[in-house]
Each structure stands twice: as C-alpha cells, then as structure tokens.
Amino acid sequence: MVAAALGWPLHSCDDAFDRHMEVAGFSVMPVGERLAQPIAVQVEKVFRMYRAEFPLILDELPDPAVVEGAALLPSLVSAAGVPPSCAVWIVPTEAFQRHHYGQRGWALDLVAGLPPTAFDRWMRRDAQFAVRVAAEARSLGYRVITVDGTVAIAELAADVLAHHSPQGG
C-alpha cells in the first residue's frame, strides 16, 4: 500500500513465494501440520525458507526496485549491499495483523476446517517473526516503522519518502 501511495512500481516477494519454494526444493507441509508445531520451530522454519528464497528474489529484481515482503530479511538485504538509507522495514503490531488478517478472505480460507487455535498460533508465529526482523533491521542501522493502524497510509508513505535517499547514503 505504501509503494502504491508513493506511485512507485512494486515487486512483491509474496507473489512468487510458492514458485520459489518449489525451485528451492522446499516441500511446504500442510498448514494444519505447520501451525501445530511449536511457535519457535515455526519461526525458525520461516527464517530458513526465506534464506533459501532470497537468491531467487534477487535474480528477479528489476533495477531499481521497490520490493516488499516478509522474505526480505535485513541481514540478507545488508549482505546484498543495500545501505540503510535505501531500505525501510514496516512491521505490524500483533493486534494490527490479527485484525486485518481476520478480515481477509484468503487468510480465513487458509485456516478453515482447522482447530480454532490455528489462527491464533499463526498470528503468534508472525508476531515473533516480526519482533526478530525488527530487531535485526535496527541492529544493522535500517529504519523500522511499526504499524498499529493509528497512522494513515499517506502519512506512512511520507515517512518512508522522508527516509529514502536516492543517492544510497
């Protein structure tokens, strides 16, 4: 949404996730089995999948690119040479994500037929993932914006634009 508000072209990592997992040789287990695992195990597996996916994302990027998606782990982006002035992590609070995912048909369809705890475990996993990503981004000098729903998209876009440095530093 922020890229659209800025009028920037966007490359969404999420759109290529299934294809990338297939190319990387990851067999993604059924969502019910995945969400039944301990939360810490789920988080580690997500990090492992995204590390495997990252080279595939890099191969597909136009130059320049505005890229969004959870697969953009700060340590990998930093290792690829992206300076802190050229990247911002926008991380949702758990309450914000729960609220918005609870209204998305695809998210509800994903957990349909699973135990009632499945959605909660998914949100807890993503919340722990977000905390780790935000801490990693900050430790590498990247800007982190936490989204809780109290800031309008236009204001969020202005914050990103104010941080962005086209010179790369």
Q: CA 39 to CA 123: how far, in whole Å?
A: 10
Predicted confidence (pLDDT) per residue in 22-57, tens digit: 998 888 789 999 999 999 999 999 999 999 999 999
Q: pTM for this one?
A: 0.89
* Domain contains 168: no
Cis peptide before 64 (omega within 30 of 0): yes
Of 154 and 62, which is predicted with more confidence? 154
* Domain contains 63: yes
* Domain contains 169: no
Under 8 Å between Cβ of 134 and 144: yes
* Domain contains 22: yes
**What is the average pLDDT across 66-80?**
93
Q: What SS3 state is found at 90? A: strand
Q: CA 116 to CA 132: how far, in whole Å?
A: 26
Calculate the CA 79 to chain-centre distance: 18
Q: What is the pLDDT of residue 167?
A: 46
Predicted confidence (pLDDT) per residue in 98-152, tens digit: 999 999 999 999 999 999 899 999 999 999 999 999 999 999 999 999 999 999 9
Q: Where are the alpha helices (DSSP H) in 7-69?
A: 13-23, 31-36, 39-60
Q: What is the DSSP string of 124-152?
A: HHHHHHHHHHHHHHHHTT-EEEEE-S-S-
Find the domain containing 88 and state its range: 2-163
